[in-house]
Amino acid sequence: MTVTAPDDPKTLVSTGWLAAHLKDPDLRIFDASWYLPDMGRNALAEYQKAHIPRSRFFDIDDISDHRSELPHMAPPVEKFMSRMRALGVGDGHQVVVYDGAGMFSAARVWWLFRLMGKTDVAVLDGGLPKWLAEGHAVTDTPPIIRDRHMTVTRQNQMVCDVTEVARAAKLGDHSIIDARAPERFKGDAPEPREGLRAGHIPGSRSVYYKDLLHDDGTMKPPSALRTVFHDAGVDLKKPAITTCGSGVTAAILSLALERIGKTDHALYDGSWSEWGMYADLPIATGAA
């Protein structure tokens, strides 16, 4: 039997919770599906074919900072506000985010809302696969959207740049946690993006994001999450920095940290797409 944690509209809600609240007037739902090229899936096409009723499509690559050469970096505040207004999402709304993989990219959008100072946002535990498995309805009809004003206060402490991460790695005063597969962390497997070195940030710890999830894509309860971090050698007394390949699955680590009550965590937005690109940044290989 899969053990799940209680619903929390600020972090994680169940499919049952969403079904019960589906018609709430101030609920806004996002399909934030995003896939790596080797997954062979088209997120927008899948959304257009079938999505949870009333959900909007959140394009992670579009709602990003196009001034950066790095993939889907967090957008400027003004761009985030304008995109959300166009999608009919604003102040006073409860947001629920899901994806088509179960738990893969939705946490990135949860983190992005938190970065922008919005706390009434949760990830749908188990995502669309669990919703479908339970027989809940889907539709191909787009929602009716009306403009809504949004006030944003960017929480700069929730994101790190390469300089801050390099300093933290050198001083050892943060727990740097890497969500990539162990083979990539060790440097035994090539990176999916060309031109990147293999390995990990010196001093970082490997916590594969899938180790935080049950087989059905739902997140493990807080007690089990703590065990995963502990077994990986993560010092939870230190402030945490989460990282991955391009800042997507790192947000699953951030969500898990929030679920266990740890609030002093930041996400390295450039992640390995940036760190692995620069020859002057140190790397480590093998196990942590």
**Domain boundary pick from 136, 154, 172:** 154
Whether 281 is covered by a domain: the verdict is: no
What is the distance between the alpha carbons of residues 27 and 150, in angstroms, rounded to a whole number? 14
- pLDDT per residue, tens digit, the chain (288 aa), is 565 667 999 999 999 999 999 999 999 999 999 998 888 999 999 999 999 999 999 999 999 999 999 999 999 999 999 999 999 999 999 999 999 999 999 999 999 999 999 999 999 999 999 999 999 999 999 999 998 999 999 999 999 999 999 999 999 999 999 999 999 999 999 888 888 999 999 999 999 999 999 999 999 999 999 999 999 999 999 999 999 999 999 999 999 999 999 999 999 999 999 999 999 999 999 987
Query: Same domain, yes or no, for 122 and 202?
Result: no
Query: Same domain, yes or no, for 17 and 113?
Result: yes
* First-residue to last-residue Cα distance in the chain: 32
**Domain boundary pick from 98, 125, 154:** 154
Of 5, 213, 240, 244, which one is the catalytic site residue?
244
Domain with 246 in it: what CATH number? 3.40.250.10
Nearest to 145 by CA among 80, 93, 89, 79: 89
244 is catalytic: yes
- State how many domains the chain has: 2
What is the distance between the alpha carbons of residues 158 and 254, in angstroms, rounded to a whole number? 10
Which domain covers residue 111, as residue numbers?
A: 12-154
Query: Same domain, yes or no, for 253 and 163?
Result: yes
Q: How far, in whole angstroms, is CA 8 from its chain's centroid? A: 17
Put simply, whether the predicted model's pTM sits higher than 0.85 gets the answer: yes
